[in-house]
């Protein structure tokens, strides 16, 4: 540029608006947009949320089939980047079906559109309405309705609950996030999952602690009995604990239960697991086949024969050299 009769623009002329922080209205619009997406799509599969819908201890909503697919063993050909991306979404909060609760929404249809509403106030649950669900039943309500009712049992199923088990759905307020974090830590210390079921391996850790306590008591008794054998220096109750701790049934190495169709008590979960397994097996078959039947018909393993393909079209006939006269 230059020497052509033009002018060289300065940075002041090019950058008309200086960088600034977004104002309150812009932040609110961005927040509502993010909440609308979280209420509409599953963050694991990026598919629209459809029943059955589950939630983790942080109040995030997922499709149950996406959670089952994530918990199943991965194929070797799945890229590591995809595995890491989905692990970052869960952030270690979901290690089994006991870590999620199925959220039961009251749904009404208006034409072709389905809306989730509160069964008490009939308000639509979504980005504009603060919603909660109860553990362990999973029924969803608006927060205003739960605060006004202020009971100890669910109005839908009459199952009892406590105030700390009222979980906000997709919380934004720092106070709600802090309460959920404190609840998660408290349940973890008690060996209980988000659904208020026993955490896998909690019994094993308890037996190990009891065995260590008994062994330390046995060592003390041996020292008190001047080197006598442990069996002679222990009480009958301690002997029974030692025998019971050694005769436990063997557990799996991982300490987690494998999803077997005969072992799943919930029929809906069993059928959904079988469906996910069938889809995964079908994808594996397609991946191994490589080419479909239409593409395979264009190729031959026995070589090209001009006489055989003489009557075919230009795709299968090929080219043959003319005979010399």
Structure tokens at 255: 């300490």
Confidence of residue 226 (pLDDT cuts 50, 70, 90): very low
What is d(CA 101, CA 105) in angstroms, rounded to the nearest whole number? 12
On the question of pLDDT at 316 being above 60, the answer is: no
Residue 22 has a pLDDT of 80
Per residue in 269-314, pLDDT (tens digit) is 778 888 888 888 887 777 766 555 555 555 555 555 555 555 555 5
Residue 159 has a pLDDT of 92
* Residue that wins the pLDDT comparison between 157 and 222: 157
Closest CA to 136 of 121, 108, 156, 112: 156
The pTM for the full model equals 0.61
Per residue in 141-158, pLDDT (tens digit) is 999 999 888 778 999 999
Confidence of residue 225 (pLDDT cuts 50, 70, 90): very low
Confirm if 214 and 242 have CB atoms less than 8 A apart: yes
Kindly report the number of other CB atoms within 10 A of residue 317's CB atom.
Answer: 14
What is d(CA 180, CA 89) in angstroms, rounded to the nearest whole number? 17
Closest CA to 130 of 96, 98, 173: 173
Confidence of residue 228 (pLDDT cuts 50, 70, 90): very low
Question: What phi and psi values does residue 73 have, to the nearest 5 degrees?
Answer: -60, 140
* Residue that wins the pLDDT comparison between 315 and 271: 271
On the question of pLDDT at 238 being above 80, the answer is: no
Confidence of residue 253 (pLDDT cuts 50, 70, 90): very low
Q: CA–CA distance from 57 to each of 12, 91, 289 (Å)?
A: 50, 11, 41
Q: Of the segments 85-89, 216-220, 269-273, which one has the largest average pLDDT value? A: 85-89
Pairing between β-strand 140-142 and β-strand 131-134 as defined by DSSP bridges: antiparallel
What is d(CA 49, CA 269) in angstroms, rounded to the nearest whole number? 17
On the question of pLDDT at 4 being above 80, the answer is: no
Residue 132 has a pLDDT of 95
* Residue that wins the pLDDT comparison between 2 and 152: 152
Kindly report the number of other CB atoms within 10 A of residue 46's CB atom.
Answer: 8
On the question of pLDDT at 247 being above 70, the answer is: no
Structure tokens at 31: 């927040």
The structural domains of the chain, with segments of one domain joined by +, span 24-189, 202-246
3-state secondary structure 156-208: CCCCECCHHHEEECCCCCHHHHHHHHHHHHHHHHCCECCCCCECCCHHHHHHH
Using omega within 30 degrees of 0 as the cis cutoff, is the peptide bond preceding 52 cis? yes
Report the DSSP beta bridge partners of residue 63.
Answer: 53
What is d(CA 155, CA 153) in angstroms, rounded to the nearest whole number? 6
Q: List % helix, strand, coil for the chain (3-state, nearest 5).
A: 45, 10, 45
Residue 82 has a pLDDT of 87
Per residue in 105-134, pLDDT (tens digit) is 999 988 888 899 999 999 999 998 999 999
Residue 248 has a pLDDT of 42
Quote the Cα angle for 278-81-273, to 5°. Answer: 20
Confidence of residue 209 (pLDDT cuts 50, 70, 90): low
What is d(CA 236, CA 282) in angstroms, rounded to the nearest whole number? 59
Element (H, E) at 243: helix 236-246
Confirm if 195 and 101 have CB atoms less than 8 A apart: yes
Q: Provide, rounded to the nearest whole percent, the portion of the chain with pLDDT above 90.
A: 39
Residue 231 has a pLDDT of 47
On the question of pLDDT at 190 being above 80, the answer is: yes
Residue 42 has a pLDDT of 95
Per residue in 157-169, pLDDT (tens digit) is 999 999 899 999 9
* Residue that wins the pLDDT comparison between 266 and 180: 180
Q: Up-side HSE of residue 254: CA atoms within 13 Å toward CB?
A: 5
Confirm if 203 and 62 have CB atoms less than 8 A apart: no
């Amino acid at each position: 540029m230059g020497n052509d009769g033009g002018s060289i623009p300065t940075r002041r002329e090019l950058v008309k608006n200086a960088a600034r922080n977004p104002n309150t209205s812009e932040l609110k619009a961005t927040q509502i947009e993010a909440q609308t997406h979280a209420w509409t799509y599953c963050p694991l599969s990026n598919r629209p949320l459809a029943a059955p819908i589950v939630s983790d201890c942080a109040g995030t909503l997922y499709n149950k089939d996406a959670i089952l697919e994530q918990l199943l063993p991965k194929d070797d050909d799945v890229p590591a980047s995809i595995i890491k991306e989905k692990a970052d979404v869960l952030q270690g909060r979901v290690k089994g079906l006991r870590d999620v609760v199925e959220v039961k929404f009251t749904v009404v249809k208006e034409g072709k559109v389905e809306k989730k509403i509160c069964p008490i106030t009939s308000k639509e649950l979504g980005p504009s309405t603060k919603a909660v669900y109860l553990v362990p039943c999973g029924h969803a309500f608006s927060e205003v309705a739960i605060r006004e009712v202020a009971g100890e049992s669910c109005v839908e199923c009459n199952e009892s609950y406590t105030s700390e088990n009222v979980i906000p759905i997709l919380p934004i307020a720092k106070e709600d996030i802090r309460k959920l974090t404190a609840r998660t830590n408290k349940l973890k210390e008690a060996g209980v999952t988000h659904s208020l079921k026993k955490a896998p391996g909690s019994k094993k850790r308890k037996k190990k602690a009891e065995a260590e306590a008994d062994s330390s008591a046995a060592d003390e008794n041996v020292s008190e009995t001047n080197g006598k054998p442990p069996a002679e220096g222990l009480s009958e109750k301690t002997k029974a604990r030692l025998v019971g701790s050694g005769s436990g049934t063997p557990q799996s190495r991982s300490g987690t239960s494998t999803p077997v169709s005969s072992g799943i008590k919930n029929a809906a979960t069993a059928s959904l697991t079988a469906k996910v397994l069938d889809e995964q097996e079908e994808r594996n078959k397609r991946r191994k086949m490589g080419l479909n039947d239409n593409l395979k018909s264009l190729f031959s393993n026995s070589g090209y024969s001009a006489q055989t393909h003489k009557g075919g079209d230009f795709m299968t006939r090929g080219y043959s050299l003319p005979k010399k006269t």
